[in-house]
């Protein structure tokens, strides 16, 4: 329970940070170099004041998070994708297509995908394959290993280590 609250606070903090940077700071300066130097300066200031976790790349991810999920804040009160971790949202930022990103977000939340599973599905273009196929069950079955549901003895082994997928 505590981990969920901390994660929710981290995700909310990063969205609000991205909102504030993009609306109050970057929008005032139109030059690209202005934004880069400002992000570097802001990163140093935040790191000295609050500690680790405010690298320029994370600040850019916060900005992209706010831009990619502009309606994120109002959805926190209702049923939303707030169960996802910051790592999930950072992975979702790779998806350029808005519809695909929302679909991955919903599926990730509904199916409880790990960050690794989400990355694998994005890399394999799972969303687009599901759109094109006349048989979605066949595509979904690709996610399950062939021994899914079988007994532990039938699962493949590497040396003395069992490979267990859940």
Q: List, as one string, the DSSP characters of 116-155.
A: HHHHHHHHTTHHHHHHH-S-HHHHHHTTS-TTTTS-GGGS
Sole residue written with tokens 């799972």: 126
- How high is the mean pLDDT of the chain? 77
Q: Is the pLDDT of residue 147 over 50?
A: no
Sole residue written with tokens 């297509």: 97
For residues 53 and 6, membership in a common domain is answered with: yes
Q: Per mean pLDDT, which range of 88-92, 113-117, 148-152 is the poorest?
A: 148-152
Integer CA distances (angstroms), 111 to 43, 47, 104, 122, 166, in order: 35, 36, 10, 14, 12
Mean pLDDT across the stretch 39-68?
Answer: 90
For residues 61 and 105, membership in a common domain is answered with: no
For residues 66 and 98, membership in a common domain is answered with: no
For residues 48 and 109, membership in a common domain is answered with: no
Tell me how many domains the chain contains. 2
Percentage of the residues of the chain whose pLDDT score is greater than 90: 28
What integer pLDDT is reported at residue 60 of this predicted model? 92
For residues 60 and 99, membership in a common domain is answered with: no
What integer pLDDT is reported at residue 57 of this predicted model? 92
Asked whether residue 6 is domain-assigned, the answer is yes
Q: Is the pLDDT of residue 161 over 50?
A: no
Q: Which domain holds residue 133?
A: 94-147
Q: Is the pLDDT of residue 73 over 80?
A: no
pLDDT band at 26 (very low <50, low <70, confident <90, very high): low
What integer pLDDT is reported at residue 23 of this predicted model? 83
For residues 112 and 68, membership in a common domain is answered with: no
What integer pLDDT is reported at residue 155 of this predicted model? 47
Q: Is the pLDDT of residue 88 over 80?
A: yes
Q: Is the pLDDT of residue 32 over 80?
A: no
For residues 107 and 58, membership in a common domain is answered with: no
Between CA 118 and CA 138 the distance in angstroms is 18
């Amino acid at each position: 329970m505590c981990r969920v609250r901390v994660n929710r606070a981290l995700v909310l903090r990063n969205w609000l940070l991205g909102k504030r940077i993009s609306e109050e700071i970057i929008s005032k300066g139109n030059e690209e170099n202005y934004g880069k130097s400002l992000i570097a300066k802001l990163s140093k200031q935040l790191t000295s004041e609050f500690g680790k976790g405010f690298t320029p790349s994370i600040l850019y991810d916060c900005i992209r998070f706010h831009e990619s999920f502009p309606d994120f804040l109002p959805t926190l009160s209702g049923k939303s994708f707030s169960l996802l971790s910051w790592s999930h949202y950072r992975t979702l930022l790779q998806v350029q297509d808005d519809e695909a990103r929302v679909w991955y977000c919903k599926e990730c939340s509904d199916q409880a995908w790990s960050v690794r599973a989400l990355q694998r599905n994005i890399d394999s273009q799972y969303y687009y394959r599901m759109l094109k196929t006349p048989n979605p069950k066949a595509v979904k079955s690709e996610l399950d290993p062939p021994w899914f549901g079988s007994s532990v003895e039938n699962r493949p082994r590497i040396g003395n280590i069992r490979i267990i997928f859940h």
